[in-house]
Amino acid sequence: MKVLVVNAGSSSIKYQLFEMPARRILAKGMIERIGQADAALVHTCSGSKHTARICAADHDAGMAVILSTLTDKKIGVLSEIGQIGAVGHRVVHGGEEFTGSVVIDAHVLDSIERFADLAPLHNPPNLTGIRAAMHSLPSAVQVACFDTAFHTTLPPAAYIYGLPFDIYEKFRVRRYGFHGTSHRYVARRCAKLMGLDKSAANIITCHLGNGCSITAVKAGKSVDTSMGMTPLEGVIMGTRCGDVDPAILFYLGDKGYDTKQLNAMCNKQSGLLGISGISNDMRNLLGRVAEGNTRAKLAVDIFCYRITKYIGAYTAVLGRVDAVVFTGGIGENNPALRAQICADQPQIGIQIDPARNDASSSDERLISAETSRVKVFVIPTDEEGAIAGDTYELAAGKSK
């Protein structure tokens, strides 16, 4: 079965086409700047990259471009679009309703739309992408895969905030967590690498990119995670502030900041960018650290310190930790940061092997020392592959 995985943003569509169940990537790409005059396509297959200026006034037009590209005689991989048996959609927020991936029907569409107030920047474009795919591929099985689903196993003690309980009852204000597809994939892959059943492994997973989250996985289930009701909570990120005293916002409100300014500040002007005053890109910051820039060093140090704190806290939550996993763009590609994060943790059984950690490789690998009680892995995440797997299983089950 051919499975198309779609991740629709407000002005973009990322896609990968898989041959299932082998999870072989046939093609992948992205359309950017949908609705603008300079909309563009980047398409890759068989190791060759094709770029083009396109006309894509909306997501329906963007999806049509993708399908036309996939069936193009020169750069495509399909003879006709009917070969696509299922489409898997990344959806950020599933609220408390969806504990796993589901075949999309009218009820699911209504729920995704209802949860838009919990993820106003993500669910609406996700929904737009779903409707565009349903329009372009009416015979394909459409599946929604939720970022929040893996975290629906959090116990109430982990997800209820210290606010009046009726705030939760009325508005469902609680910790939801995000990056769930990534955390689930690397936790299960880590258990397999250690020769453990997923239900027997206690793992701390660190998804570190422009957005960052840490998750405690106990017996294969998420029991705590650093992001909260929104992706703003937790460790500092590229432009997000992470954990702060909420009274700071009241204080700044008294100083004349309105809610729109505070929202922009916390989400787009803080984190690595706000502290350093230079960049939200860790690669740029590490270059400036090497040049002796003190603000860049402060941003990097805070980033590492907060992650170290979460690993320590989740060690206490889990009681026994079998492994720590680093994934995401920063987690996979920055040995110096991994070393700094783990440097002060021999007391909880974490010891990095410098040679393993510094080895240049894009493959999954063990980077802890032989004497380390807790194993430490680098495992490249594969959210698209996980979505393709869920989609194939649901589509195959529906066709039986």
Instruction: Report the distance separating Cα 11 and Cα 32, nearest Å.
Output: 6
Residue among 139, 140, 143, 141 nearest 126 (CA): 143
Q: Is the pLDDT of residue 344 over 80?
A: no
Structural domain spans, the chain: 2-146, 197-383
Active-site hit among 105, 147, 245, 281? 147
Question: Cα 206 to chain center, whole Å?
Answer: 11
Q: Is the pLDDT of residue 399 over 60?
A: no
Q: pLDDT tens across 206-215, in order?
A: 999 999 999 9
Active site residue 363: no
Its CATH class, for the domain covering 2-146, is alpha beta
Give percent of the chain with pLDDT exceeding 90.
94
Instruction: Report the distance separating Cα 110 and Cα 127, nearest Å.
Output: 10
| Predicted local confidence at residue 188, as pLDDT | 97
Q: Is the pLDDT of residue 400 over 50?
A: no
- Residue 132: exposure state from Cβ atoms within 10 A (0-12, 13-18, ≥19): buried
**Own/partner pairs for 119-126, CB < 8 Å, 24+ apart?**
119/92, 119/93, 119/230, 121/10, 122/9, 122/91, 122/92, 122/93, 123/91, 123/92, 123/93, 124/10, 125/8, 125/9, 125/10, 125/11, 125/59, 126/8, 126/89, 126/90, 126/91, 126/92
Mean pLDDT over all residues of the chain?
A: 96
Instruction: Report the distance separating Cα 378 and Cα 367, nearest Å.
Output: 7
DSSP string, 42-63: EEEETTEEEEEE---SSHHHHH
Q: pLDDT tens across 265-321, in order?
A: 999 999 999 999 999 999 999 999 999 999 999 999 999 999 999 999 999 999 999
- 197-383 CATH, one of 3.40.50.2300, 3.30.565.10, 3.20.20.70, 3.30.420.40: 3.30.420.40
SS3 15: strand
Mean pLDDT over residues 235-263, rounded? 97
Report field, pTM of the whole predicted structure over 0.85: yes
Residue among 376, 339, 374 nearest 354 (CA): 339
Mean pLDDT over residues 63-88, rounded? 96
| Predicted local confidence at residue 398, as pLDDT | 66
| Predicted local confidence at residue 397, as pLDDT | 85
The yes-or-no answer to whether 2-146 and 197-383 have a common fold is yes
| Predicted local confidence at residue 121, as pLDDT | 80
